[in-house]
Structure formats: C-alpha cells, structure tokens
Amino acid sequence: MELKNKFMQGKKDLVQNRCKIITSNIERQITKYDENKNDHFKRYYNLRDKLSRAISVLTAQGVDVTTLTSDLAQLEDLLAKFSTDYAAFIDSLKNTQNFGCGTSDGEFSAALETSRTKLATLRQDALEIRNFYKDTIKTHILEIRRELSKLKEDKSNGTE
C-alpha cells in the first residue's frame, strides 16, 4: 500500500512539474509575441507607407497607378486580417491561463490546441502578405519602372 501511495505521489508531482513548465512556456510565449507585435506591425505598415509614397510620386509624374492603388487596397485588407488574427491568437493564448493544467478535464488542452490553430492562421497571414508584396506589388512596380524608362528613352530620342 505504501508503494502505491509513493507511486501516486510521484505521478502527481510529475504532473505538477509538467504543468509548471507548460504554464511558464505559455507566459513566455505571450510575452514574446507581445514584444514582437510592434516589430511585425511596424514592418508591414512600413511596406504600406512605402507603397503609398511610391503612388504619390508616380502620380505626380503622370504615371497610371491604378494597379498600385488596387494593390494598396488589397494590402490594407491583408494587414487588417493580420491584425485581427494576431489579436485573436494572443487572446486564445491568454485564455489557456484560465484553465488549471492537469485539473481541467481537457479544457486546457483544447484551449492550447485552439491557440495553435490560430498561430498557424497568423503565420499563413504573414506569408500571404510577404508573397503578395514580393509577387504582385514588386512586379507591378517593375512594370511601371520599365514603362517610365521607355518613356524617358522615347523623349530623349525625340529631342535629339
């Protein structure tokens, strides 16, 4: 009987230690994502601002920027989705702290799994923003640059 009690106590201690580690990891993750939030948003908003400035400069030069304007609107939508999903992820991660690890009959695990799903969504959003900028916006900017250089070349050939 004493051996059984020692085993049960050891098992209970193991669960408590594991829960302390998990709780500590979650708190560290929340802190990390809160600290990195500003960096993420700053980077993405800088992309938006850079595109907006490019549109202003090109408009002043008389270039048709309808594609870039629509790209800016689409980028704004992607940034809004990223912002919403970021908040949802942080909330779901904080929600795991509402359940006692080891005593909540799977609610803690379910909340943690929900948080993981939201993180995957957030990462997908970030990937979409990067790919949209790299594949769409940069392509449109290069096309406009080619058009500008062709116009400048035509002007210089016409004035000679």
pTM: predicted TM-score of the whole model, two decimal places:
0.80
Mean pLDDT throughout 97-118? 80
Per the CB < 8 A criterion, the answer to whether 84 and 48 are in contact is no
Contacts of 133 (CB under 8 A, 6+ apart): 47, 75
pLDDT tens digits, 110-139: 888 999 999 999 999 999 999 999 999 999
Reported in sequence order, the residue ranges of 13-134 that DSSP labels E, i.e. its strands, are none
CA–CA gap between residue 16 and residue 108 (Å, rounded): 14
CA–CA gap between residue 74 and residue 124 (Å, rounded): 16
pLDDT of residue 101: 66
pLDDT tens digits, 3-21: 777 767 777 777 778 878 8
Cα dihedral 37/42/44/50 (nearest 10): 180
Domain ranges of the chain: 2-159
Q: Which helix (H) or strand (E) holds 69?
A: helix 66-95
Q: Residue 98 carries which side chain, given as an amino acid letter? A: N
What's the CA angle centered on 116, arms 124 and 102, to 5 degrees? 175
CA–CA gap between residue 5 and residue 43 (Å, rounded): 56
pLDDT of residue 105: 67
